[in-house]
Amino acid sequence: MKVIKTFIIGSNAFFSNIPEFKSKDIDELSIVDKTLGKSDVINIKFKNKDVFFYKEMSKQDFIKNTLDSNVPMKAGKFLIPDFVNYLGFTIEDLKKLK
């Protein structure tokens, strides 16, 4: 499994520039060339870090994966500017998540 790109997600992505913000951990989304097993995503918890390893997919597959999961929190990655720029995500794509 080779990491292609990593993004900070979760509260650090939104609040790390606020001096009063104290993070309890770091959440990352890593795009990898392949995941272990049949899943499109695996989550590994380290001491102060949660890493979500997603296999490299098209933006349509990321959208489908999120919708099929029926886990609303998985849509949060589409609020991270670096991630959506990486995917070429548009407002029209966002409407699919409604």
pLDDT digit string, tens, across residues 50-85: 999 999 999 999 999 999 988 888 899 999 999 999
pLDDT score, position 28? 96
pLDDT score, position 39? 81
DSSP 38-87: S-SEEEEE-SSEEEEEEE---HHHHHHHHHHHT-GGGGGGGG-HHHHHHH
Domain that holds residue 14: 3-96
pLDDT score, position 40? 82
Q: How many domains does the chain contain in total? A: 1
Looking at the chain, the whole-number percentage of residues with pLDDT higher than 70 is 100
